[in-house]
């Protein structure tokens, strides 16, 4: 296990349980107590947890983080998988490409990969993603307006959908809540509307979804499972892989 994966595991365990002892973390992650203590020191420095005597507790959120809790909470779930998916998805891009990015924990992690790619044109409804994307050399970022929702740090609504219609891009990188019954879906109507609009205006819609989202149902369809949609995920059952391939979806598996 790499140090990054081990630290991601520590954060996931501590956030899931609220606290964890050094001994329990060492046993769960097959690491020495000394290694875990060093990891806790570093994670505490980064503000990802709070190191206490004998272990760690979940970081006490600031007032801003509490307000932004819906997205912040998802950022710590399946973190290792999401980072692997983000790296794989970023490998599709070359300097000068244009892309839509919708709001989600996986797309926010994906946006962290963008500063290494020069000359991108990024269209997004997320202020946080825009702030990351603009770090890329010679990049241009267009931030979609509309009704701002604090919980997801995103612009949504009819105004956002209309503005998306003014752009065309090579790619649309989208997050979803579920895949099942031949479609990629979300539980939030306004998020689904924004993602659908981006998919319509892109030559290549790319869904970023970890394996926990597979073989589930959502309420609102984002895109059907059909060409030219691509899926970047960390793992798929043979049955789901065969189903998606038969429907024309290009499946890209992230490195573990």
For 53, the token pair is: 């005597």
**SS3 category, 142:** strand
Q: What is the CATH number of domain 3-60?
A: 1.10.10.10
φ/ψ of 117, rounded to 5, equals -115, 120
Residue intervals in the chain for CATH 1.10.10.10: 3-60
Q: For residue 63, what pLDDT is reported?
A: 37
**Per-residue confidence (pLDDT) for residue 2, from 0 to 100:** 82
Quick one: fold of 71-253?
Rossmann fold (3.40.50)
pLDDT confidence of residue 256: 66
Q: What is the pLDDT of residues 214-229, one digit of tens each?
A: 988 888 999 999 999 9
Q: How far apart are CA 53 and CA 42, in angstroms?
A: 15
- The model's pTM is 0.74
Rounded Cα distance between 89 and 101, Å, is 12
Q: Are strands 154-156 and 147-149 parallel, antiparallel or unpaired?
A: antiparallel
Q: Which residues contact 30 (CB under 8 A, 6 or more apart)?
A: 1
Which CA distances in Å does 154 have to 141, 157, 194? 15, 10, 10
Q: How far apart are CA 17 and CA 7, in angstroms?
A: 15
Q: What is the pLDDT of residue 68?
A: 38
Residues 6+ apart with CB under 8 A from 63: none
Q: Taking the chain (256 residues) in consecutive chunks of 10 residues, what is each chunk's mean pLDDT? A: 84 84 93 95 86 87 41 63 94 98 94 94 96 90 93 89 98 95 91 97 97 89 95 94 95 89
> Exposed, middle or buried: residue 34 (CB in 10 Å: 0-12, 13-18, 19+)?
exposed
Please report where in the chains the tokens 């990188």 appear, as a residue. Answer: 173
Instruction: Give the per-residue pLDDT at 60.
Output: 58
Whole-number Å distance between alpha carbons of 78 and 13: 10
- The encoded tokens of residue 46 equal 């980064």
Strand residues in 144-253 grouped as ranges (E): 147-149, 154-156, 169-175, 178-180, 183-186, 202-208, 220-224, 230-233, 250-253
CB-based contacts of 206: which residues, under 8 Å, 6+ apart? Answer: 89, 92, 171, 172, 173, 174, 229, 230, 231, 232
Q: Where in the chain are all domains bearing CATH 3.40.50.1360? A: 71-253
pLDDT at 1: 75
224 neighbors 183 (Cβ within 8 angstroms): yes
């Amino acid at each position: 296990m790499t140090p990054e994966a081990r630290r991601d595991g520590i954060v996931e365990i501590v956030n899931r349980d609220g606290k964890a002892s050094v001994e329990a973390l060492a046993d769960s992650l097959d690491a020495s107590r000394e290694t875990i203590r060093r990891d806790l020191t570093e994670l505490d420095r980064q503000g990802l947890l709070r190191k206490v005597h004998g272990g760690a507790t979940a970081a006490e959120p600031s007032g801003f983080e509490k307000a932004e809790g819906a997205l912040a909470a998802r950022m710590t779930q399946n973190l290792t998988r999401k980072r692997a998916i983000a790296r794989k998805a970023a490998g599709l891009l070359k300097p000068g490409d244009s892309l839509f990015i919708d709001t989600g924990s996986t797309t926010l992690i994906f946006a962290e990969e963008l500063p290494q790619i020069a000359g991108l044109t990024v269209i997004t409804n997320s202020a946080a993603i825009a702030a990351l994307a603009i770090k890329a050399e010679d990049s241009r970022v267009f931030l979609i307006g509309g009704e701002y929702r604090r919980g997801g740090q995103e612009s949504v609504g009819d105004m956002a959908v209309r503005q998306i219609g003014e752009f065309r891009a090579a790619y649309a990188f989208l997050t979803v809540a579920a895949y099942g019954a031949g479609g990629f879906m979300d539980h939030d109507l306004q998020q689904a509307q924004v993602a659908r609009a981006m998919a319509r205006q892109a030559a290549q819609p790319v869904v970023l979804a970890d394996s926990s989202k597979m073989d589930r149902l959502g309420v609102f369809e984002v895109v059907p499972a059909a060409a030219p949609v691509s899926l970047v995920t960390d793992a798929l059952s043979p049955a789901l892989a065969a189903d998606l391939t038969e429907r024309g979806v290009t499946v890209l598996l992230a490195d573990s």
